Amino acid sequence: MKIQLLYFDGCPSWESGLKNLEVALLEENLSASIEMVKVSDDDEAMRLKFLGSPHFRVNGHDLWTENRETYSLSCRVYPTPEGFKGFPTVAMLRQQLGQFKEV
């Protein structure tokens, strides 16, 4: 399993997103390489179809898809059980990662 975490330097939430991802992988007993993809500007955001930081992709598939026409350097919010946050919870990540488990 190959995971990309797309982010930009000014995002205050990507590090928490990375930590939750690592915990979710451990709890799901999944082996994965995590590639950190730093998005530098709006042109790169458009090219990568960057949905906001942190943005998680597994094997090229967005964990939380979103239809957009424009992309830019921005922070992303996730609807969690505790309200909107700048990163998904461990439980949310575990649920999304579960679909990529090998049977």
How far lies 95's CA from each of 6, 9, 34, 40, in Å? 20, 27, 18, 30
Quote the CA–CA distance of 39 and 37 in Å, as a whole number: 6
pLDDT tens digit sequence for 53-101: 999 999 999 999 998 899 999 999 999 999 999 999 999 999 999 888 7
Domain extents in the chain: 2-100
Query: Domain spanning 2-100 has what CATH number?
Result: 3.40.30
Confidence bin at 102 (pLDDT 50/70/90): low
> Is residue 95 classed exposed, middle or buried when 0-12, 13-18 and 19+ CB atoms within 10 A define those classes?
middle
Give φ, ψ of 89 to 5 degrees: -75, 165
